[in-house]
Structure 1
């Protein structure tokens, strides 16, 4: 029988310093997702897909994708059909995490696109190292500048497919202080798309 990494993932979930909700997987969806991604449960990504529709981390601030849950897409559906990367998570502010396979001479790593700078950042961590760090408490420091007093209560009220839109936006000089920004719940796909499109438009205008 194939050895699953879920035991390790579960231990990290249990030891997390903030709440982590595991959304139990639907076996049929999980099997289809694993086949589409061509991965096994020996990997941490495969173990998450096989055993969870998703993980809601730190009061739901981060949604780690698994085999899909009401309004939360699965990792296979969110993968890029024209490229090699796989979307593995979204944060409530519209940030996106993707797993990018190894480049020549390199290793596969997780990259993050943030709403505060509209740039892709290579975290220089493989999927297992990234998720372990997330479950060990890395989100607290990583998101220090994107949080405001009372954020936990606001985030906990959201559905899994909702995010928080802030205006002025976090990437603008006026939007750096989110405690003074106007905030509202919006569909998460809409929020992610807004920031991705904004980044493309800004890059296009800079190239002219």
Structure 2
């Protein structure tokens, strides 16, 4: 395994370019303060350098909160109370860096407040029941209980998040008042919708559905349970939050 100095001490790190992209973007971005020790631990297990967007985010920030709190991107973990967990915690990294360890189904790198999960495919996505190619992003959609290929890598996904296309992506899933609801959430909370997002009733009239704030683990747990029992397939690991 490459050591932290080799992974972090690169001549052309991606972080300055990422910071500039955050400033240019019309999408509100909150950069969480990093936990330096946890970020370095994540980087060593990931074995990616700070030249990549994944490595730069892991090393330099605790995570990102985008579009008023609707989307959360995991990084090196935020030490502040109520911050985001690290990639290591979300993906259950081993306590000590292990070159033989790899995420079983893919690396969970983000989530949205409805329980949508963004993950980076592992080396054999088909065996894990995931669409797309190795190293490409996938999305677990809470309104279909299925994984969808995004046809982009991690750095392309970050650019996509900043591009202003989230309104189109979430068309039909953002009821009136969603900005205020998302902004009021803690980073460990999500929005539970009833009738559930995958039902015909919710598809027909989302504005009429009731919504309440619950722990994000509850949102993910309910979606995973229904996907196993009545959805297209077991979604597998959705992250530890």
**Is this a same-fold pair by TM over 0.5?**
yes
In the alignment, does 2:56 pair up with 1:74? no
Q: TM-score, normalised by structure 2?
A: 0.79
Equivalent residue for 2:167?
Answer: 140
In the alignment, does 2:207 pair up with 1:186? no
Secondary structure at 1:99 match in 2: strand
CA contact (8 A) 1:98 1:112 kept: yes
Q: 1:147–1:33: structure 2 CA closer, same or farther, 3 Å change rule? A: same
Alignment match of 2:19 (pick from 7, 10, 17): 10
Equivalent residue for 1:87?
Answer: 108
Secondary structure at 2:151 match in 1: coil
Q: TM-score, normalised by structure 1?
A: 0.91
Cα distance in 1 for residues equivalent to 2:169 and 2:232: 28
The alignment's C-alpha RMSD in Å is 1.9
Within a 5 Å distance, the mapping from 1:26-175 to structure 2 comes to 26-69=35-78, 70-79=82-91, 83-103=104-124, 106-175=133-202
Q: Give CA-to-partner distance per residue, 1:148-207, whole Å, 9 cap, x none.
A: 1111011100001100000001110011232111000000122112111210111489xx
In the alignment, does 2:228 pair up with 1:200? yes
Q: 1:7–1:204: structure 2 CA closer, same or farther, 3 Å change rule? A: closer
Shift of 1:18: 2.2
How many residues of Structure 1 are paired with residues of Structure 2 in the alignment? Answer: 204
Cα distance in 1 for residues equivalent to 2:143 and 2:19: 31
Unaligned runs of 5+ in 1: none
Runs of 4+ in 1 over 3 A off after TM superposition: 101-104
